[in-house]
Amino acid sequence: MEKIIEAIHLKTDEVFECQLNYIQKERWIWEINLDCEDSKFKAQGKDLFEALKKIREELNKKNMDILVNGSRKNVIVSPMMSEAGGTNMYLLRPRLQARPEDIVSTLNSISKEELSTLDEQRIFYTKWLGSLKPSQGEKDEAKKHPNGSVCRIDGDFADEDDIPPEAIIGAWKVDGNGNLGDWKLNPNFIPMDKRD
């Protein structure tokens, strides 16, 4: 496949076009060829996203990067997406499981404000994973509600506030001893930045 994408000089913020070609050579080998101005880059990976990361490492050595979703801080390719080639990925949100409506194309354009470094991607992913575990406050709340449930809420609400159903990310069942059990995502959840 062939695609024209935008790249950026990291020192000057100058944006320019590059020609990107990618192909699946074998089941677990994807190759990217990138032609930017006077520089050519080539990389292989087990999927498109993995090959893209290697291309970005080479670009970064020349103070350049590419403006595509795969260069955002808050993205990840799930194992199933990787098996399908890594052409799509999830946009991650702290404390939220990845959802089908958060799927984006790996090579779609982004603005230069959305660009991140490879280190920022790794750090965000680690923090995101940690954010999915129950907090101490959620565990404490479970102790107060044996045989009930504890919800994870998106947004800041006072104790006396009515919490709209779309602000509930999901809930854990609580066993008779006040321990968190199975987690269930709320199918009607709407992230705070997308609520009216």
Note the pLDDT tens digit of each residue in 150-177: 999 888 888 899 999 999 988 999 999 9
> pTM for this structure?
0.80
Q: What is the pLDDT of residue 14?
A: 95
Structure token digits, residue 28: 């677990």
The per-residue b/e assignment along 153-183, b for 16 or more CB within 10 angstroms, e otherwise, is: bbeeeeeeeeeeebbbbbbbebeeebebeee
**118-131 helix and 48-61 helix, angle to the nearest 10 degrees:** 130
How is the chain split into domains, by residue range?
2-131, 136-194
Q: What is the pLDDT of residue 129?
A: 86
Among 128, 135, 164, which residue's Cα sits nearest to residue 150? 135
Q: What is the pLDDT of residue 138?
A: 93
Q: Report yes or no: 188 and 195 within 8 Å, Cβ to Cβ.
A: no
Q: What is the pLDDT of residue 184?
A: 87
Residues with pLDDT less than 50, the chain = none
Helix (H) or strand (E) holding 149: strand 149-153
Q: Report yes or no: 72 and 115 within 8 Å, Cβ to Cβ.
A: yes
Q: What is the pLDDT of residue 196?
A: 67
Q: What is the pLDDT of residue 48?
A: 97
Residues in CB range of 136: below 8 A, 6 or more apart: none
